[in-house]
Amino acid sequence: MEPIYLRIFNDIEAKILAGDWRPGHRIPREHDLVDDYGCSRMTVSKALAALVDRGLVVRKRKTGSFVASPQIDRTVMDIQDIGTEASLAGYEHRYKILARRIETLDSVEAAQLDSTSGAEVLRIQCLHIVDGKPTAVERRIILLDTVPLARIESFAAAPPAEWLLSQVPWSKAKHVIRAVPADAATARILEIDRGEPCLNLIRQTWQNDRLVTYVEITHPGDRFQFAGIFHPAKNPRHVDSPTG
């Protein structure tokens, strides 16, 4: 038998991840959940505290509990969004959409992405310029089934990574980081020599087992690095943490 607090946790998590409860949506107050599940307040509290820790919920006395704005886990964030990182480091960041078209996945690509063949996707190529220098090529595929709004998005206001984060909560992400030699096309775009070492990040992001996006980001090895400072979870996380 699944513990009650886990059932509550899972129910609410599912609603949020399914997009049923959007960010800002008010979660039933403890008292209501007590009634709904026929359990004690402590049990409800345990579930909600775990959701706070999971980053899906924020709580405030007197005001209530709300679905949190989707936020990348801080330890993943470090390699998440070039623009954010650049401006955190005090650099100027621009980007240019080099290509943008809607396609259907052929079977080879579909298999590669672990997705279904024939799905409609938006394919984007984007150059990131940090401090005046070309710093990354971003080649991205967005599944239009999962993110229909992408069809009409121009990415003029925010680059694809940032726009997606504001649209879709993610439930799973897979990263691969490699060192690769620059191919001809990449070398031209990044203004480096062919064969130069490049840092290559591939990320797939899912929402409830539906692929949201596949992206490959290639950085010149001499102009970019991934860095992060990590602490083992600082304040008590997970269960019954007060300050969040």
Q: For binding to DNA (CB under 7 A), which residues are involved?
A: 1, 3-6, 27, 29-31, 38-43, 45-46, 48-49, 52, 59-65, 240-244
Q: What are phi and psi of 237, to 5 degrees?
A: -110, 180
Distances (CA, A) of 183 to 82, 100, 200: 21, 21, 12
Partner residues linked to 216 by β-bridges: 139, 202
Q: Does position 181 bind its own copies by CB under 8 A?
A: yes
CA pair distance 154, 47, nearest whole angstrom:
40
Q: What residues between 214 and 243 interact with its own copies by CB under 8 A?
A: 219, 221, 224-234, 236-243
Provide the b/e sequence for 148-163 (b: ≥16 CB within 10 Å).
Answer: eebeebebeeebbbbb
Residue 180 binds which of its own copies, DNA, none (CB < 5-8 A, kind-dependent): its own copies
CA pair distance 196, 130, nearest whole angstrom:
19
Q: Does position 149 bind its own copies by CB under 8 A?
A: no
Partner residues linked to 95 by β-bridges: 128
Query: At closest approach, how far in Å is the CB of 151 from its own copies?
Result: 26
Structure tokens at 82: 């070039």
- How many residues bind its own copies (CB under 8 A)? The answer is 60
Of 29 and 223, which has the nearer Cβ to its own copies?
Answer: 223
Q: What residues between 78 and 117 interact with its own copies by CB under 8 A?
A: 78-79
Residue 4 binds which of its own copies, DNA, none (CB < 5-8 A, kind-dependent): DNA
Q: Does position 51 bind its own copies by CB under 8 A?
A: yes
Query: At closest approach, how far in Å is the CB of 23 from DNA?
Result: 17
Query: At closest approach, how far in Å is the CB of 225 from its own copies?
Result: 4
CA pair distance 97, 142, nearest whole angstrom:
14
In sequence order, what are the residues at sequence separation of 6 or more whose Cβ sits closer than 8 angstroms to the Cβ of residue 41? 30, 31, 34
Residue 176 binds which of DNA, its own copies, none (CB < 5-8 A, kind-dependent): its own copies
Point out which residues bind its own copies (CB under 8 A): 3, 5-6, 9, 42, 46-47, 49-51, 53-56, 72-73, 75-79, 170-181, 195-200, 219, 221, 224-234, 236-243
